[in-house]
Amino acid sequence: QALKLALHGALKRDEFSILYQPMVDLSSGRIRAFEALLRWRHPELGAVCPTEFIPLAEETGLIVGIGAWILREACRAASRWPDDICLSVNLSPAQFRSAGLVSTVRAALTETQLPTDRLQLEITESVLLRENRANLQILTELRRLGVKIALDDFGTGYSSLGYLHQFPFDKIKLDRSFVQNLPGSREGHAIVTAVAAMAQGLGISLTAEGVETSAQAALLRERGYSEGQGYLFSEPVSEGQARRLIGHAM
Ligand code: G
Ligand code: G
Ligand code: MN
Ligand code: NA
């Protein structure tokens, strides 16, 4: 309850910041994109864990304003990166329920002059839960703007496969729980291989999350995963550090 109260004024008090975690081409090792990740530092509570405050921001609807802020700030940062480096931003179900998500995205792109095809939006399957036609319509409109749509945390939900023929996703991000016990686990191998075959059949490209070792990266590359994200490459870093990572990679 105290946390909820503190969250209310956090945007105005400038307590949020954005970290950027690279997504790396598993063949070339080059950075392809960065995912924007929200952080909150409260003057007394210190750094609050995103898994703690993001659900709260969704419940209270505060995520709508915060989400618009992230979109604008992250697009502004990305507009200064080289042309071939993309930005990925998470969208929550509450943002879909609020009116104006499409115009918020359009405004962020126009204002920052970030080319539309360099923005990717990550959604979880909860956005399409119960064949939500309104959200499907919004996704279609977002796609019509020219942004890419990725299915995040793939494999953790209820009936993941059902969502794949509801909407033509550009990318699937395999949840890190499946990557964690590679390369040791036989089940891990089976899942990673099956998801790769499915994505290939559907013509959807794959990012593996939570890549922590080079053995995992090698196995995923071999199975057809084009991108990896995780501590092996980099933890989430500040905008300045992200620019240095881009510099080193070139
Ligand atoms: O890396 P991190 O601990 O920040 O991620 C925790 C969770 O918070 C992840 O599920 C991530 O998708 C989510 N998250 C991080 N930033 C944002 C954001 O800007 N918007 C939304 N909706 N979720 C976010
Ligand atoms: O749900 P989403 O994938 O958007 O959130 C990404 C979350 O995963 C963030 O909390 C981020 O800090 C965390 N993360 C990123 N890379 C790794 C990793 O290699 N290992 C683990 N355990 N967590 C990671
Ligand atoms: Mn994500
Ligand atoms: Na994820």
The candidate with the shortest Cα–Cα distance to 115, out of 82, 93, 67, is 82
Q: How far is the CA of 170 from the centre of ligand 3 (A)?
A: 14
Distance CA 126, CA 160 (A): 10
Distance CA 14, CA 189 (A): 44
Minimal-distance CA residue to ligand 2 atom 23: 210
Q: Is the pLDDT of residue 11 over 90?
A: yes
Listed by start position, the domains of the chain span 2-249
Fold of 2-249: TIM Barrel (3.20.20)
Per-residue tokens: 81: 């990166």
| Half-sphere exposure for 120 (CA within 13 Å, toward CB) | 23
pTM of structure: 0.96
Distance CA 56, CA 101 (A): 20
| Half-sphere exposure for 121 (CA within 13 Å, toward CB) | 31
Q: Are 117 and 146 in contact (CB under 8 A)?
A: yes
Q: Are 225 and 193 in contact (CB under 8 A)?
A: no
Mean pLDDT, the chain, as a whole number? Answer: 94
Q: In this structure, which ligand is nearest to the CA of 65?
A: 1
Over residues 91-120, the pLDDT tens digits come to 999 999 999 999 999 999 999 999 999 999
- Looking at residue 157, its pLDDT comes to 75
Q: Residue 217: pLDDT band by 50, 70, 90 thresholds?
A: very high
The candidate with the shortest Cα–Cα distance to 39, out of 3, 66, 58, 76, is 66
Question: b/e for 51-68, b at 16 or more Cβ within 10 A?
Answer: eebbeebbeeebbbebbb
**What residues line ligand 1, using a CB cutoff of 6 Å?**
37-38, 50-51, 54, 63, 67, 70, 90, 92, 236
ipTM for the predicted complex comes to 0.95
CA angle 134, 135, 136 (to 5 degrees): 90
